[in-house]
Structure 1
């Protein structure tokens, strides 16, 4: 039998480098800081770390505007620091993934500087340039994801260039074979250096309709959701040609891997499930894991979650491996969305569903969205559409390590203010507390690692009512039951004969499956083998 890919049983840990650990006192996290905290990650029990962008950048969008795809921004360190981090991670059995940003570069990237210099520059077609419409306005009605038009006029050349995000992030033209070759060489550069894979930023964005028609207007648009939703992104995203590009990326990743040590590709794709599935590829030639973000915005109702899990599992193509995400650097933290008690239940859900889970830094502590005073706002999304609650600074506040000055994150002034409650909600305070969120995560991760049924086993939903979500995980006759009370009241359950082994709540475990789950309780039970 072939060896199962490592990423199928792995737990990924998403680090926002700005906020994890500062080593030099400038208030910004860096690579040496991450390396200094690797033992914490090993103790936590994760298997791989994914770093948000660390490449040279003017930081108009905090690294998602790349000025050099094959370097390290001085804020984070040097290539030597990266090599040291990678070697130290591998020495501890940890994998390391980078964030690949293929849709756009910085407007300060040498490619765009050349492209913008004249209409006849050899790199003009490396970006998306279009003539004005008949009235002199933009070529179409496309809207930037950060609000405003997705086109900026360049007076010197008399054309507009496309940008799905900030004007400082011009879109690359992936229909140009030279662009395609250059960007695929970026993957080869880092894979040859030893990275274990990539999270591919906005993969579904990278090809636009060749004729640039208007996007359909959204008749139900609510301005409170942000201007990007004023149109349906029918022609500016999710074009058929993207799948050939994903296949090229997959072929490169596969060429660098070997059995049991494959390189993994994870695609950031915010699409309905039926369209998401196409990114696996028809015969496994797409990305390994098209990110499944459903849990982030799902109504916190047991029956809705049960339907969502069932439909997602049923939609997976043959050989497609599931994955789950509760939060990330763009979306509200789990503890803020669901409250502290249900955040514990959500953690048990994330780490016991079938598939590869991704844990966002600090969620293992129960970190909540930070409060950012108006004069400390850094996120361009908030600055462009203020007051809508779309800003991402609150979910990017520094990791609290202890109750010393600046929470042990930095010796200087942190780039963002510390989140509320950091004096007690920090690693040092939670490490030895048997009832802390951190202890719960360590226990869950240890149980997952030692229980193949939880790591890679099959899943079967168990019929339940009301606020209870229940399912069974099974592998080679080993059976685990997970029962979650998503409500704040006691909930009756009818579970198979099984022995409780872990609860999200303190207190002694009873000997057999309970008939009632306590409020806000998640419970894992083991079905003992018959003699």
Structure 2
């Protein structure tokens, strides 16, 4: 069975969090990564034990159009600034995961520029996935974005390069990787890359962004430890919004099956989706959090969600800005819904005190459209919780110990 992580991750999009310029411009490095230092104690106060960073590599605009995988984005600082963040995080027993944008690069990446100048022929072009058209070869772009050019992981040189990037930052102290757009690369092409990484860093935890498909098969064929559990994300918010807990129950049954072979990476918010408090309101968002923290998985909390922040993801240029906003300079200036923050503290503490929840499965006790009770059970059968969700009126949730003692309930 793949390795798992016992961490609960606080997920931050650094370029937005630090209010970096939208595009890379000339000038000196700006050590914006150090603006995260005062927030590490905030993460610990929430109960997080890991820091999941969005892109930090040199890029043209939003971080997912990489120019240099071995250089920190000048808008965020230098290697020394990242080293300082890693050291400070580790001092607080926070592991650090980086976002590996390794499926595609910017159309201004040196390899793409050289390949273009050579008419997409020759050794540089061999690094790219090419499409052959009546007008000649052209690079394949990622999901219609002309500025994102896909690498060809079937090329052994590309595979060695990707493994080298991962090992380079693991050598510097990074603990884990998120593989962005992992679904865009055939799973079997990840396998030799991750085998190379495992040979040098056997304890590194690696999970891939996978939205649809056979999650267990992807994990098995790729060598990843986990993938993003988008099915559970969708079922959680839509069951609450639509008052249809049958969807959540069906999805948790599938989730139990995944847990037989790997532990999914779970979430109710991230940098690519509309904020959970926008979709459900603050009380519904807390109910969603109760699900996240009482079912099996490796959970992450997206920055701002712990304060009940809102924001709509739009499919247009700049459509991610509302869900990738800046944070204030210091935690004392952070504003939002304190009831939501306290719910995060309580539920993350509840989970931290029960590490068996990482691999827990669920068993349905009661199910209607608006009321759902399930039992979260340890894999060895030695511990359990009972969770009650009710959306017949104001959304609410209750968590009880196996003996019926009240452990937590949402506050109206």
SS where residue 459 of structure 1 aligns?
A: strand
**1:289 matched to 2:231:** no
- Measured on the aligned residues, the alpha-carbon RMSD in Å equals 3.0
Q: Which runs of 5+ in 1 are unaligned?
A: 137-157, 207-241, 372-378, 385-390, 409-423, 431-435, 507-531
SS where residue 98 of structure 2 aligns?
A: strand
How far apart are residue 325 of structure 1 and its match?
1.8
1:382 to 287, 294, 316: 316
Once residues 234 and 355 of structure 2 are traced to their aligned partners in structure 1, the CA distance between those partners, rounded to angstroms, is 29
Once residues 234 and 260 of structure 2 are traced to their aligned partners in structure 1, the CA distance between those partners, rounded to angstroms, is 27
**1:333 matched to 2:272:** no
Show the counterpart of 1:176: 155
**1:252 matched to 2:196:** yes
Distance 1:342 1:29, change over 3 A: farther
Contact 2:102 2:162 in 1 (8 A): yes
Once residues 452 and 69 of structure 1 are traced to their aligned partners in structure 2, the CA distance between those partners, rounded to angstroms, is 35
SS where residue 170 of structure 1 aligns?
A: strand
Contact 1:257 1:263 in 2 (8 A): yes
Distance 1:467 1:121, change over 3 A: same
Once residues 151 and 193 of structure 2 are traced to their aligned partners in structure 1, the CA distance between those partners, rounded to angstroms, is 16
SS where residue 55 of structure 2 aligns?
A: coil
- Indicate the structure (1 or 2) with the bigger Cα radius of gyration: 1
Contact 2:59 2:106 in 1 (8 A): yes
Once residues 102 and 266 of structure 1 are traced to their aligned partners in structure 2, the CA distance between those partners, rounded to angstroms, is 13
SS where residue 7 of structure 2 aligns?
A: coil
- What aligned pairs does 1:157-196 form with structure 2 within 5 A after superposition? 158-165=136-143, 166-196=145-175
Once residues 275 and 389 of structure 2 are traced to their aligned partners in structure 1, the CA distance between those partners, rounded to angstroms, is 20
Once residues 285 and 392 of structure 2 are traced to their aligned partners in structure 1, the CA distance between those partners, rounded to angstroms, is 12
Contact 1:65 1:169 in 2 (8 A): yes
**1:279 matched to 2:179:** no
Contact 1:289 1:321 in 2 (8 A): yes
Once residues 341 and 34 of structure 2 are traced to their aligned partners in structure 1, the CA distance between those partners, rounded to angstroms, is 23
Show the counterpart of 1:78: 78
**1:308 matched to 2:251:** yes
Q: How many residues align?
A: 393
Show the counterpart of 2:24: none
How far apart are residue 159 of structure 1 and its match?
3.4
Contact 2:130 2:139 in 1 (8 A): yes
Contact 2:59 2:65 in 1 (8 A): yes
Distance 1:130 1:345, change over 3 A: closer
**1:358 matched to 2:300:** yes
**1:397 matched to 2:303:** no
Q: Deviations over 1:380-407 (max 9, x none)?
A: x5139xxxxxx22221122357899xx5
How far apart are residue 5 of structure 1 and its match?
5.3
Q: Deviations over 1:389-441 (max 9, x none)?
A: xx22221122357899xx56xxxxxxxxxxxxxxx517xxx3xxxxx110110
Show the counterpart of 2:107: 107
How far apart are residue 339 of structure 1 and its match?
1.5
Whichever structure has more helix as a proportion of its residues is 2
Show the counterpart of 1:466: 369
Once residues 468 and 369 of structure 1 are traced to their aligned partners in structure 2, the CA distance between those partners, rounded to angstroms, is 28
Whichever structure has more strand as a proportion of its residues is 2
Distance 1:198 1:453, change over 3 A: closer
Contact 1:98 1:197 in 2 (8 A): yes
SS where residue 106 of structure 2 aligns?
A: coil
Once residues 230 and 117 of structure 2 are traced to their aligned partners in structure 1, the CA distance between those partners, rounded to angstroms, is 40
How far apart are residue 115 of structure 1 and its match?
1.2
Contact 1:335 1:366 in 2 (8 A): yes
- What aligned pairs does 1:416-495 form with structure 2 within 5 A after superposition? 424-425=335-336, 430=338, 436-475=339-378, 477-488=382-393
Distance 1:334 1:320, change over 3 A: same
Q: Deviations over 1:127-158 (max 9, x none)?
A: 1333323xx5xxxxxxxxxxxxxxxxxxxxx5
Distance 1:344 1:472, change over 3 A: same
**1:10 matched to 2:12:** no
Once residues 404 and 344 of structure 2 are traced to their aligned partners in structure 1, the CA distance between those partners, rounded to angstroms, is 22
Once residues 160 and 206 of structure 2 are traced to their aligned partners in structure 1, the CA distance between those partners, rounded to angstroms, is 18
Higher-RCO chain (CA-CA 8 Å, sequence separation at least 6): 2
With normalisation by structure 2, the TM-score equals: 0.86
Contact 2:15 2:63 in 1 (8 A): no
Contact 2:60 2:106 in 1 (8 A): yes
Contact 1:130 1:161 in 2 (8 A): yes
Q: Which runs of 5+ in 2 are unaligned?
A: 22-27
How far apart are residue 455 of structure 1 and its match?
4.1
Q: Deviations over 1:342-376 (max 9, x none)?
A: 111111111111111121111111111169xxxxx
Once residues 459 and 425 of structure 1 are traced to their aligned partners in structure 2, the CA distance between those partners, rounded to angstroms, is 32
SS where residue 56 of structure 1 aligns?
A: strand
Once residues 253 and 259 of structure 2 are traced to their aligned partners in structure 1, the CA distance between those partners, rounded to angstroms, is 14
2:182 to 180, 203, 211: 203
Once residues 303 and 6 of structure 1 are traced to their aligned partners in structure 2, the CA distance between those partners, rounded to angstroms, is 29
How far apart are residue 203 of structure 1 and its match?
0.9
